[in-house]
Amino acid sequence: MHVREVSLERSFVVRLASGADWRGQLEELAASEGIDAGWFIGLGAVRSAELWYYNQSVGQYEPFAVDEPMEVAACLGNISMLDGEPFAHTHAVLSDPEGSSVAGHLNEAEVFAGEVFVVGFDRPLERRYDPVTDLDLWAIDDAA
C-alpha cells in the first residue's frame, strides 16, 4: 500500500455547460484554478458518451459508445497531473429509461446537465507509469 496524507484546500460546486465535454470541463477547471490534485463527485445527464473498459489481460483500454441520452446516476473521480497537464480520472454509471446501466472509465460525454462537487488537495499528485499494472498511477511515494 502507498499512502500520502492530504488536507482539503478548496472546494467548488460546478454546473457543467450543456453541450460541452464532461471530463474536459473538469480538466479546464483544474487548469484555471490551479488544482493539481483533488477529488470529485457528480450527477446529471448526458446526450452521448464514450466509456472505456481496461482489459487487464491485454493491458489496454477498450472503448464502447453510448449513443443515446442517459442519466448520470453516479460520477466520481480524481484530479492529478499527467505529463504536466491536469487529468480528470473519471468513472461513471449511466442509466437508460428502463433503469439498465452501463459503467466504466468516462473518456468523453456530451453534457445535457451536470452538477459536480470538486475538492482540491493541499499537495500535488502526479501520475507516473507503473510497470506492474501498465497504467499511469499516482506517484504517492514521492516527497512532493
Q: Does domain 8-138 have CATH number 3.30.1330.80?
A: yes
pTM: 0.92
H/E/C letters for each residue in 102-133?
A: EEEEEEEEEEEEEEEEEEEECCCCEEEEECCC
* For range 102-128, the mean pLDDT: 97
| 144, pLDDT greater than 60 | no
Tell me what pLDDT residue 45 has: 98
What are the structural domain ranges in the chain? 8-138
Would you state the pLDDT for residue 140? 87
Q: In this predicted structure, what is the pLDDT of residue 141?
A: 77
Separation in Å, CA 52 to CA 23, 31, 84, 93, 125: 13, 24, 23, 12, 23
Question: Would strands 38-55 and 70-82 be described as parallel, antiparallel, or unpaired?
Answer: antiparallel
Q: Cα–Cα distance between 144 and 137 in angstroms, integer?
A: 15
